[in-house]
Structure 1
Amino acid sequence: MQQVKATIELETGKKITHYTRLRIEQSLFTHHSFELEVPFEELEDPKEMFFHQAHQDVCGKAIAFSFEPVLEKGSFSFAFKGIVTEIALKNTSDLVNVFLLKGYSPTILLEDCQTQRTFHDQTFGQIAESILGKYPRNLIKRRIATQHNEKLSYAVQYKETNYAFLSRLAAEQGEWMYYNGKELLIGDHSSSDTIAFEVNGVQTCHMSISLRPSKFSMAVYDYMQDEQYLSKSADQSIDGLGKFSSFALDESTRLFEQSSEQTLYHPFDNQQAVDQTVKIRKAVEANYLVDFRGTGEYPDFSVGAVLDVSSVRPQKDGQATESFGKYRVTEIIHEVDGNGNYVNQFKAIPESAEYPPSNHTIIHPVAHSDLAKVIDNDDPEEMGRIKVQFLWASSEQETAWVRVGHPYTGEGKGMLFIPEIDAQVVIGYQGNSPNMPYVITSLYPQKSGEKYTTKDNTIKQILFRGGNMLNFEDDPNANIQRITISNIDKQDKAALIISFEDDGKIQLQTQGDIVLEAAKDISLKAKNISMQADEKINLEAMNFKLSAKQNIEQEATAALKLKGMEIKAQADTTAEVSASAQLKLSSSATTDISGGALVKVEAALIKLN
């Protein structure tokens, strides 16, 4: 066991020179943590027995750890910077007080709050920059060099801390993201140190190769193309697995023949993007098929470091060195006792892995319905979609274009009711994924002067922004059953009222014109038909026929004029033409008066010329 001297220094410049136990845990996916046990007098006046100044001196302060060998010159490359988040005072069995300091890597600051916000047309690197930009660089030093720089059309941080969101996004993009003890790395990790690790009995290793179900397929529906993209893991080849991982993956595929079927709820718009996601998923899961673990005695490496593992075995003619390969550290625990005895335990994956292993700490958010306000309904694709602004506390709350649900749809048919600007809508999520919102329905908030309830719920209404209205009134108590089409601001101008009381009634009224036009026939049939005009009634046709089964009466208070190329009046029995004053029959040519039996002309005075 290697003996080391630990240098422990707080940001105030105070150095802790005596300690009884130190433990530092580092992981690829979680916040690094430490526990440091120090004598009471290291932080307080030995004459005291309780908290006086220690908690003020250490809580919330940055703390740095490094090691150097006791029996040799030089130093180790290990360095770790953390933040003290807890101080505890405890009594040992011999009634001696000791302090226990606990803390985390600076990445713990990214857990400061859960929030909800949206990002549009940004790369993962740009999103990471915008989030981390709100944290001081002296506490969270970072290096962002993402490998995949395609823009994400829409990404949502949904009730997640910044750390949880960035971790999830990194996993979805197949990007490395970890704290190496000094800085937060996102993306490129090629600059990681390579450390020689010799298995010699003191330093040990354990490697396992396991077989697991590895076949799967993913399906995604793209509504813009009305197409489903299906990608199978068997169709995706991955590089950089190494011989052991390749062997384990091939055997797993052969042994477990059935393929799991999964549905992706993500706004993919092409087959290549789905194939890339399946490829990443296959690669990260394959990383767990080979598990390399070990114990070491030198604090030379941290998370992300590459170990070049070898062992020396004796032979008759000397010694032979055998290489076990290179492995990237994903977890490590450093422990030092009060005498400076150091040991570590670590886990690693083959260094050739292109993608990080699967992050099993990620909890994918489950989205629930949300309220939102419509901010745009002018869909450039003319699909009836809208943009909404969530009623979240964050200012970054605008969606991409969102589909609107309707009771009835079909290709070239259905209902189309697009919510108005500033309308309040309820957002649902396909597959409970925050990346896949859609509009379920609309709600009415209370606004001054607006009323949406009628007594006894007698009215159902569709009212448009210009006042056009379709009104259904059903009041059995008042014997009212009617449908009205009108304008709420101009009901006296024009209205169509269909009543269902008694025998029913249809009333069409307007202060303007009523135009009936048909390419073929217009038929009117009723018990009685009345037509009344304040000024004129004009009837015009190529042929005009007026008939009655009984009587036809024509009456005018002034003049009644009949004019035609030819006028014929015929009666089956009697024809009578009379006038109260004068009756005049004339023609410009000939006038014939004849009777089949008798012509009778009678008057007080008869003049014939």
Structure 2
Amino acid sequence: MSDILIQDGRIAILSTPLGKDKLAITALDATEGLSELFEIRIETVGPDANVDFDQLLGRDCTVALTLLDRPKRLFNGIVAEAQAIGAFEDLYVYRFVLRPALWLLTRTTNCRIFHHKSALAIVSDVLGERNITIENATKRVYPKLDYCVQYRETDFDFISRLMEQHGIYYYFEHADGAHKLVLSDSRSSHQAIEGGASIVFANALAGLTQQEQALFSWSSERRFRTGKIELRDYAFREPGSNLKAKTQGSERYARATTYEYYDYPGKYQNSSDGRLYADARLEAEQAIDYRRYASGQAPNLFPGGLATLERHPTTAENKQYLIVRCSHHFADEAFRSTGGLDGRQPYHGNYELQPADRVFRAPLVTPRPLVHGPQTAKVVARDKDADSEEIDTDPEGHGMIKVRFHWDREDKRSCWMRVAQLWSGPGWGAQFIPRIGMEVVVEFLEGDPDKPIVVGAVYNGGNKFPYKLPDNNTQSGLRSDSSKGHGGYNEFMFEDKASSEKIRMHAEKDHEVVIRNSETTEIGEAFSGGGASRKTTLKQGGDELTLESGSRKTTIHSGEDTTTVDKSITIESLGDTITLKTGASSIKLTPSKIEISSTAIALSAAKIDLN
């Protein structure tokens, strides 16, 4: 084996699943930052012309960089890309890209629902599913989200937007053979860097040696930022509430608080949550102010660590800083010898920092998913225990229902969602509740998958139209279904076929009509009705029937006819006669006489006067 592959004693040592000294590192370019996926590009050489990439892709590799008599600077990641470059003299050149295990979450997309969990809990769940090693260094308590949807987005984008919205950021800590994801939300979660807690500023021409860790360029930068944030939202349960959340920065430069960032909706349902989101936005907006940019040889610096600058000629600059971003560059130009670099510096780094007393927040850059248009879904009960019900609405009385979306693989139920009606007012309007099993049309307010609303219902192969089609294309109307049990129905139907026009109303049990003033009914031809009994009560006023032409006939086939009047009763005929008849007996009244006819006539009275 060539001496080139004996890594012991070298500045950079590469460990891979292939085994020790199978590959030797010749160059490294690494970039890393707070709330950023690191990328480590390495170039290696080895004697094997046919390295099996299947043994490397998706596996951990570690680079140990030893410089300046400091603790080893470790870079660990999984192999995401592998490339064979070709031969170089008697060796073969390979290039690899190492990324964090978190990067794997960019390779998977999902559609799913989370109920009643905080953003931190959701992030932890997603990371746990992928066996991502994490350390939770957050300090704040986060509100529970009633309903949160991951919709056609990668796991990485999903958790990134949740963290950005809530002011959570992350960084990585590297070890030999592993790396760890650290979640943070406050300055107190950061620690001084081991072997790099202090760093000196020096002139690049001062002849730095490999034993000195120093920065030889340093610049400070200020940026004008938006100084005010206002968010608003709407909560239908309290439609009159003012869900406004405002916050303002403390900078004192000109116009620092003149310009405002205003957004709606703010994605919250109470003012305290709104203030959390507004603060996170303002802190993210102002985080890139007061940045420092440096270069030098300080390989132990890493994002999330704290380091104190010393010996800078501007005294105010000598203080503690949070490392925000780093790029590391290493080249072993003398890789054919076991010695050093003949005085040349093998490492160079560029660094971005901010004063440690300022809050860091990641910018809100991850796009939210949008639902482009309506979807259909199946109405379900609130939980499996209520699946036997036919109708299920929210316990608050808002007429809300739950659905199961066709894209849901986990058999989850949606949040309680409102149902659009034809009309809605305080105690009046339309009320049609979609029933379990129906297919409904769901829209999303501003395309937000977290804000669904039912806007209609559609028929399908299992739920057919109430009137057979196409035979009854001219029929329209409403037909309900008795619950529970089915079979019965109430109906209001229109038949619009020419010469057969009809309105049909069907009441499965009772029909109640209340008319506060007048009712006018006009029948062009005939009126017929039936039923077991009829009862009419007029509480006041009168009862008058006018028949302008034709005859009136009352027939009682079985039973009696009784008329009871508290006062007098008058029967008047403007024609020739009034006849009262039963059997062979009759009384006929004419304008000139009264005729009584019977087989026998009996008169009974205390006194009878005959003139």
Could you tell me the TM-score, scaled by structure 2's length?
0.80
Report 1:154-233 matches (<5 A). 154-181=147-174, 182-187=179-184, 190-194=189-193, 195-202=197-204, 203=215, 204-231=217-244, 233=246
How far 1:107 moved relative to its partner? 0.5
Q: Does 1:535 align with 2:558?
A: yes
Query: Does the aligned pair in 2 maintain the 1:367–1:434 contact within 8 Å?
Result: yes
After superposition, give the CA deviation of every residue in 1:11-51 in whole Å (9 maximum; x if it has no partner).
Answer: 4544455233211121223321121112252xx24xxxxxx
Do the aligned residues in 2 keep the contact of 1:402 with 1:437 (CA within 8 Å)? yes
Q: Output the CA distance in 2 between the equivalents of 1:524 and 1:15.
A: 113
- Aligned residue number for residue 363 of structure 1: 367
Deviations, residues 236-279 of structure 1 (Å, cap 9, x unaligned)? 366xxxxxxx5xx3326x256343432125241x2222223222
For 2:419 and 2:288, the matched residues in 1 are separated by 42
Amino acid at match of 1:19: I
Residues 165, 364 of structure 2: 8 Å contact kept: no
Task: Provide the C-alpha distance between the structure 2 equivalents of 1:433 and 1:231, rounded to a whole number of angstroms.
Answer: 20
What CA distance in whole angstroms lies between the structure 1 residues aligned with 2:119 and 2:101? 21
Alpha-carbon distance, 1:366 to partner: 1.3
**Paired residue for 2:575?**
550
Give the equivalent residue in structure 1 for 2:442: 427
C-alpha separation between the residues in 2 aligned to 1:529 and 1:335?
A: 110
Could you tell me whether the CA contact under 8 Å between 1:329 and 1:346 is conserved in 2? yes
Deviation for aligned residue 1:285: 0.9
Correspondence for 1:142 among 126, 134, 137: 134
Distance change (3 Å), C-alpha of 1:516 and 1:15 = farther
Aligned AA for 2:305?
A
Match of 2:209 in 1: none
Q: Which amino acid aligns with 2:222?
A: I
Q: Contact 2:579 / 2:589 at 8 angstroms: preserved in 1?
A: no
- State the Cα deviation string for residues 283-307 of structure 1 (Å, max 9, x = none): 2211122222221312112121123
Distance (whole Å) between structure 1 residues aligned to residue 527 and residue 154 of structure 2: 63
In 2, the alpha carbon distance for the partners of 1:185 and 1:529 equals 94
- C-alpha distance 258-107 of structure 1, shift in aligned 2 (>3 A): closer
Q: Is the 8 A contact 1:4 1:342 kept in 2?
A: no
Q: Secondary structure at the match of 1:63?
A: strand
Which residues of structure 2 form unaligned runs of 5+?
1-8, 205-214, 334-340, 382-391, 483-487, 514-520
Q: Which has the larger radius of gyration?
A: 1
Q: Is the 8 A contact 1:113 1:162 kept in 2?
A: yes
Structure 1 residue aligned with 2:403, among 384, 388, 393?
A: 388
Q: 1:210 to 1:145 in 2, by over 3 A?
A: closer
Which moved further from structure 2: 158-167 or 124-133? 124-133
In structure 2, C-alpha distance between the alignment counterparts of 1:75 and 1:323, rounded to whole Å: 26
Question: What aligned pairs does 1:267-278 form with structure 2 within 5 A after superposition?
Answer: 267-268=268-269, 270-278=270-278
Partner SS, residue 20 of structure 1:
strand
Shift of 1:429: 1.4
SS in 2 for 1:222: coil
Matches within 5 A, 1:291-306: 291-306=291-306
Deviation at 1:169, TM superposition (A): 0.9
TM-score by length of 1: 0.80
The answer on 1:586 being equivalent to 2:606 is: no
| CA–CA distance in structure 2, aligned partners of residues 396 and 186 of structure 1 | 30
Aligned to 1:102: 97
Post-superposition shift, 1:73? 4.2
2:358 maps to which residue?
Answer: 353
2:27 to 21, 28, 35: 21
Using the alignment, how far apart are the partners of 1:344 and 1:397 within structure 2? 49
Return 398-407 or 387-396, whichever deviates more: 387-396
Structure 1: runs of 5+ lacking an equivalent: 46-51, 239-245, 314-319, 563-568, 595-609
CA distance in 2, matches of 1:504, 1:120: 62
Aligned residue for 1:403, secondary structure, equals coil
Find out whether 1:440 has 2:455 as its counterpart. yes
User: What residue identity is the alignment partner of 2:320?
Assistant: K
RMSD between superposed Cα atoms in Å: 3.4
1:91 and 1:337 mapped to 2: Cα distance? 19
- 1:6 paired residue among 12, 15, 18: 12
Work out the CA distance in 1 between the residues paired with 2:18 and 2:497. Answer: 83
Match of 1:331 among 296, 318, 325: 325
Q: Deviations over 1:428-450 (max 9, x none)?
A: 11122222211111111211776
Instruction: Work out the CA distance in 2 between the residues paired with 1:108 and 1:424.
Output: 38
Q: Structure 1 residues 267 and 217, CA, compared in 2 at 3 Å: closer, same or farther?
A: closer
Q: Distance in 2 between matches of 1:495 and 1:410?
A: 23
Change (3 A) 1:299 1:508: farther
C-alpha displacement at 1:559, in angstroms?
7.8
| CA shift for structure 1 position 370 | 2.4
**Cα pair distance change 1:485/1:302, threshold 3 Å:** same
Q: How many residues align?
A: 542
CA contact (8 A) 2:589 2:595 kept: no
CA, structure 1 residues 193+398, in 2 after alignment: closer, same or farther (shift >3 Å)?
farther
1:101-149 C-alpha deviation (Å, 9 max, x unpaired): 123111112223211222222122322232222223xxx2111244223
- Aligned partner of 2:56 in structure 1 is 58
Aligned equivalent of 1:288: 288
1:54 & 1:201 partners in 2: Cα distance? 46
State the SS of the aligned residue for 2:66: strand
Residues of 2 paired with 1:559 and 1:411: CA distance?
A: 67
**Would the aligned equivalents of 2:228 and 2:248 in 1 still touch at CA under 8 Å?**
no
Cα separation, partners in 2 of 1:354 and 1:481, compared to 1, 3 Å? same
Q: Partner of 2:311: helix, strand, or coil? A: strand
Q: Is the 8 A contact 2:481 2:490 kept in 1?
A: no
- 8 A contact 1:267–1:436 mirrored in 2: no
Structure 2 residue 524 is matched with structure 1 residue 503: yes
Deviation at 1:155, TM superposition (A): 1.6
Letter in 2 for 1:251: Y
Q: Conserved in 2, the CA contact under 8 Å of 1:480 and 1:501?
A: no
